Structure 1
Amino acid sequence: MMTRLSLPTIAVLVLAVYASSACTQPQLSRQQKLASQPAHIVTADRVVPITVEIARTDTERRTGLMGRTSLATNAGMLFVYRSERPGHHGFWMFQTLIPLDIAYLGADGEIRAIRHMAPCQPNEKCPSYPAGQPFSAALEMNQGFFARHGIVVGDRVEWGD
């Protein structure tokens, strides 16, 4: 026996499927990492070696460090843009589980601003951390990394392309 579905029933089913798929957000598993490369931060009196994953595409930048439960001590993620971003742009910590510091960089790698970012709390609005200065790249490291190494605004991040 064949059952016929009414048009309103079909519409409700289609909307339910669409709504459930639209609500799911892609998550980066801990195993999916970008290729790492050496970089360093030049301060007034020393060079601090680091390892960075470089996020160059929109998808890589959107995903960032989502879903990661840890980040190696001297490792981070470098977000590189093709053109300068205005100072009111920034980052947020959606689905990011570890506290991070972010350095916003000029095209020459000079650190223009440093912000401290906390993971979003469940059921709360996720805050944004605007750069406050135009930037062409941003470097996320474990929270406290910049302070521990005496890295400040005006220091420079250098990496190979």
Structure 2
Amino acid sequence: MKALKALIPACTLALTGCGAAEAGKTDTPVTLPQVQACFVSNNEGHAVTVEVATESEDRKTGLMGRRDLAENAGMVFEYQEQRPARYGFWMYKTLIPLDIAFLDESGVIVSIRHMLPCTSSRASDCPIYPAGKPFRSAVEMNAGYFKAHGIDEGDRFIWPLESACPP
């Protein structure tokens, strides 16, 4: 029982501000500011457009309710401080499968997870996809994006882009 009591605060912390949602939130997508960005893998650039979620409420809502996402589009979640490895994201009220890259403070990808939509109406039934390593920000893209472009751990994400993405 003590172990269970210890898990409850940890699970609560894992969901706070990490793509978690309140049960009563609307499914209406909110468009956030967009910036041009670039994944760099093996000295090859992959230009993308990402919505930027820097406020707690925007991070909680994330891509909930979206029925689709443009091919080279995604959402970046920025935090003011590094997040512990046990923190992660969930897919409550998210309708499309996504891949997520967790980034360190330099924009280096420290882990990538594949996330499936959670069809449960109960948030507590949705799995959490932990980063597995400390992270400062995260980028969600369509499922399969990273594999299709050869993007992996150790590659970089540059945003906002101040010049052209490397060819």
Regarding TM over 0.5, the answer is yes
Q: For the aligned residues, what is the CA RMSD?
A: 1.5
1:122 deviates by 2.6
Q: Which runs of 5+ in 1 are unaligned?
A: 1-22
Match of 1:146, SS state, is helix
1:25 deviates by 1.2
Match of 1:77, SS state, is strand
Q: TM-score, normalised by structure 2?
A: 0.79
In 2, the alpha carbon distance for the partners of 1:83 and 1:74 equals: 27
1:41 deviates by 0.4
Percent pairwise identity: 48
1:55 deviates by 0.2
2:157 matched to which residue of 1? 157
2:36 matched to which residue of 1? 38
| Bigger Rg, which one | 1
| Alignment size in residue pairs | 138
In 1, the alpha carbon distance for the partners of 2:120 and 2:110 equals: 31
1:64 matched to which residue of 2? 62
Match of 2:58, SS state, is helix
Which has the higher relative contact order, 1 or 2, with Cα contacts under 8 A spaced 6 or more apart?
2
Q: Which runs of 5+ in 2 are unaligned?
A: 1-21, 162-167
Q: TM-score, normalised by structure 1?
A: 0.82
Correspondences of 1:49-128 after superposition (within 5 Å):
49-122=47-120, 125-128=125-128
